[in-house]
Amino acid sequence: MIISQLKPAVGTFVMLFVLFIFGCGEQPQVAEQPVQQENTMNDLAERYVKLTLAVGHHHDYYIDAYYGPQAWKSEKQPLANLLLEGQQLLANIEALDVSNTEKLRHDFLSMQTESVLFFIKQLQGEQFSFDEESQALYDAVSPNVSEAEFDQALAELEQLLPGDGPLHQRMAEFTKQFEIPKDKLDAVFRAAIDESRERTKQFIELPEQESFTLEYVTDKVWSGYNWYKGNSFSLIQMNTDFPITIDRAIDLASHEGYPGHHVFNSLMEKHLVNANGWMEYSVYPLFSPMSLLAEGSANYGIDVAFPEKERIAFEKQVLFPLAGLDSSKVDLYYAVQAVRSKLSYIDNVVAKRYLDGQIDKATAQQMLMKYALSSEKKALQRIGFIEQNRAYVINYNLGQDIVRAYVEKLSEGNSQKRWQVFSQLLANPMTASMMK
């Protein structure tokens, strides 16, 4: 029994007995013990990983990647219990006094934990607006873009693609001549991946054992996906539900592979998990601030690896011949793509209005057909993605813009320094607000 739990009279007797044994008036000498902090960053990181994995039992694709100890995986627990655990964890993280060298790690872990708590509340059925969700999960809110801005871009496309019929149909007819034949897909994709890998290796030291497997799948709401398995290995899947145009080869090769998701995860594993022992980076919860950096850097990384002139030259010389396509209209094609990029935020606008209940599914489909220039089926696929992933859509365009602004500000227009800043960001992740 612990002495402090005894009644006062008994406690007094015990104290007198101790004094008698050690000699009257003499106090026993007790060695001073160093004061130990109840929580360390590594302790908190382990609790965070276990909490995140436990939440993953309640959502099929919340855990995008995990390569930590298998023993940390637990049985399914009630969400109410996980919420209490997460709240205590966040309180301990915020109470921890850290040095300047650990501040970035501490702040990132704090924001990731906050996103886990928010996601638990969503799983419990609490309702939030689109902007509240994007702020809590991804540390950012998409800017308001009006239809007037989109209409201006459409007017530019009307000049580039004159003719009769709806613009999205003319766009479909124009891009059809740039579709990669299915029997040429693998050769074109592998050539694009090989080139993006070689370009990345010139500036980023990749792990020696890094590798990937490429698969072609159907019936997905996304066009490509990187399933990172750990030990610098990825499974990269390409969705062939719809025809794939020649420009998407480099887009997907860079975004999913080099210097995109495959490199991002490999560098985190190499530098943070293996070298530093920061186990919080061994788990990747999809709906978290990490995704804004992951998707934003993967999109921006396309331009880092393939500056416009170099990209067009490589496609003309290598990819077009491999695909058996005529490259005579490539300049017009990229002029169209440049204007079309001004419409990228339509995803965010449609998702926000649809999920906030301002428009119905039919209206959302019509908006995507008009402003994203999608076919009926492609628009429905995109709505499926929005329904499944909700505010995640902001990570592609807003994430790209945030990463671009951060890297280009620090690199000051120097292409080699741009690679340096970019690779440092991949190896030392930051959330959106940290990049401001």
**Tens digits of residue pLDDT in 122-147:** 999 999 999 999 999 999 999 999 99
Residues 109 and 169 in one domain: no
Statement to judge: residues 116 and 154 lie in one domain: no
| Residue 171 and residue 99 in one domain | no
The bridge status of strand 283-285 relative to strand 224-230 is unpaired
In this structure, the answer to whether residues 129 and 155 fall within a common structural domain is no
Buried b (16+ CB within 10 A) or exposed e, 222-255: bbbbbbbeeebbbebbbbbeeebbbbbbbbbbbb
Name the percent of the chain in helix, strand, coil, to the closest 5.
65, 5, 30
Q: Tally the domains of the chain.
A: 2
Which of residues 138, 160, 179 is at a domain's end?
138
Asked, for residue 7, whether it belongs to a domain, the answer is no
Predicted TM-score of the model (pTM): 0.88
Pairing mode, strands 283-285 and 233-239:
unpaired
Is the same domain home to 94 and 171?
Answer: no
**Are residues 188 and 274 both part of a single domain?**
yes
Of 108, 138, 168, the residue at which a domain comes to its end is 138
CA distance 298 to 253: 10
Residue 192 and residue 78 share a domain: no
Q: Are residues 194 and 113 in the same domain?
A: no
Q: Structural domain of residue 74, as residue ranges?
A: 45-138
Q: Are residues 91 and 217 in the same domain?
A: no
DSSP track, 115-170: HHHHHHHHHTT----HHHHHHHHHS--PPP--HHHHHHHHHHHHHHS--SS-HHHH
Residues 346 and 425 in one domain: yes
Angle at 384 between CA 156 and CA 190, to 5 degrees: 75
Q: Is residue 415 part of a domain?
A: yes
Angle at 310 between CA 309 and CA 312, to 5 degrees: 65
Is residue 18 domain-resident?
no
Tell me the C-alpha distance between 385 and 392, whole Å. Answer: 9
Given 104, 138, 172, which residue is the final one in a domain? 138
- Six-digit token string for 100: 């300047």
Bridging pattern class, strands 233-239 and 211-217: parallel
Dump strand ranges (E) for 182-341. 211-217, 224-230, 233-239, 283-285
pLDDT in tens, the chain (436 residues): 333 333 333 343 333 333 333 343 444 343 343 333 458 999 999 999 999 999 999 999 999 999 999 999 999 999 999 999 999 999 999 999 999 889 999 999 999 999 999 999 999 999 999 999 999 999 999 999 999 999 999 999 999 999 988 999 999 999 999 999 999 999 999 999 999 999 999 999 999 999 999 999 999 999 999 999 999 999 999 999 999 999 999 999 999 999 999 999 999 999 999 999 999 999 999 999 999 999 999 999 999 999 999 999 999 999 999 999 998 888 899 999 999 999 999 999 999 999 999 999 999 999 999 999 999 999 999 999 999 999 999 999 999 999 999 999 999 989 899 999 999 999 999 999 999 8
pLDDT of residue 38: 57
pLDDT score recorded for residue 100: 87
Report if residue 33 sits inside a domain: no
What CA–CA distance (Å, rounded) separates 108 from 195? 33
Packing angle of the helix pair 167-176, 147-160 (nearest 10 deg): 50
Q: Please give the structure tokens belonging to residue 11.
A: 């406690």
In a domain, 354, yes or no: yes
Do both 110 and 175 map to the same domain? no
Question: Do 69 and 210 belong together in one domain?
Answer: no
Assigned domain for 402 exists: yes
Evaluate whether residue 235 is within a structural domain.
Answer: yes
In a domain, 15, yes or no: no
Between helix 394-411 and helix 415-427 the angle, nearest 10°, is 130
